[in-house]
Amino acid sequence: MTFPLYRKRILSAGLSAAALALVGCQNGPISDYDTSPVDTNPASVQMTTDVLKVDLPATRNGLTAVDKRAVEHFVSRYEDVGRGELIVTSPAGGANAQQALKSVADIRRIAHSRGVEYDQVSVRTYDADGVAAAPMMLAFKRYEAIAPDCPLLSQIDMSDVANNAELSTIGCAVNANLAAMIADPADLRGDREITATDTTRSDDKTQRYQAGDAIESASSVNATLGQ
C-alpha cells in the first residue's frame, strides 16, 4: 500500500511528535525540578572572624582618638554583618592593667552609642604575663561569601555538542559576581526575614497625584528649567 507524498509527511510528523511526547513522559514536567542549570556552580558561605588589635602602652591613659575611631569603625562593621557577641579580650596581670580597665569602659560606651546592647558585649581577659604594652583584642564572627572556582572558557571545547548538555561553566560567572557584590553573605543562606517595605514616599506621591497636585520634586523642576 502506497501513500501520497503529503500523507507520508503527515505520518512522519505524527511519529516525531509521539517520540517527543514519549521522551517528555520519561523526563517528567519541568516544574518537578527543584534546581536549574544555574545552580551547577553556586556561591558558598563560611563563617570567619574579624579581629581588631588595640595597643595599650602603660604610659598611655586609655584609648587615643585614633584608637576610638578604629573601634567605632569596627563596631559599625559588627552592627552591619556581625553574628553573635562582640568579644572584647583585655590583658590582665600586666603593667597596663589600669589602662585596660579604662579602655574596656570606653569600648562599651562606644558600642552602646552605636546601638549595641550591653549584653551583646562579652568581656574576657587573658594573662599578659607582665608585658607592659599587652594589646586589647576586639572580635566578632561573620559570614563570608566564597565565589565558585570558574574554569577558563579557553579550557572548554565549545564545539562539543554531542550530548546537547549545558556547559560546565553555566551560571559560574553570575554566582561569582553575586558573591563579590552581596552586602551580607548571610543572605545566601536564606535565613534572614524580609522586612516590610517603606512605602511612605510612594503613597504620598500617589495621594498627591489623585488630588491633582504637582508631584515633581524641586530638583527635577530646576533641572528642566536649566537651573
pLDDT of residue 123: 94
Residue 159 lies inside a defined structural domain of this protein: no
pLDDT of residue 222: 54
Contact (Cβ atoms closer than 8 angstroms) between residue 62 and residue 106: yes
pLDDT of residue 23: 43
Residue 185 lies inside a defined structural domain of this protein: no
pLDDT of residue 213: 80
pLDDT of residue 20: 42
Question: Which three three-digit cell numbers place residue 127?
Answer: 594573662
pLDDT of residue 29: 43
Residue 85 lies inside a defined structural domain of this protein: yes
Residues of the chain with pLDDT under 50: 3, 5-11, 13, 15-32, 221
Q: Kindly tell me the sign of the dihedral angle through the C-alpha atoms of 211, 213, 215, 217.
A: negative
Q: Residue 93: which CATH number?
A: 3.30.1330.60
Range of the domain at 79: 46-145
Residue 188 lies inside a defined structural domain of this protein: no
pLDDT of residue 181: 92
Residue 218 lies inside a defined structural domain of this protein: no
Three-class SS state of 174: helix
Residue 122 lies inside a defined structural domain of this protein: yes
- 192 Cβ partners below 8 Å, 6+ apart? 184, 186
Query: What is the edge-to-edge ordering of all strands in the sheet holding 136-146?
Result: 44-54, 136-146, 82-92, 121-127
pLDDT of residue 25: 45
Name residue 187's amino acid. D
| Total domains in the fold of the chain | 1
Radius of gyration of the chain (CA): 31
Separation CA 76–CA 115 (nearest Å): 9
Contact (Cβ atoms closer than 8 angstroms) between residue 136 and residue 167: no
Cα-flanking dihedrals φ and ψ of residue 137, to 5°?
-120, 135
pLDDT of residue 93: 79
Residue 190 lies inside a defined structural domain of this protein: no
Contact (Cβ atoms closer than 8 angstroms) between residue 74 and residue 142: no
pLDDT of residue 31: 45
Separation CA 11–CA 18 (nearest Å): 11
pLDDT of residue 155: 80
Residue 18 lies inside a defined structural domain of this protein: no
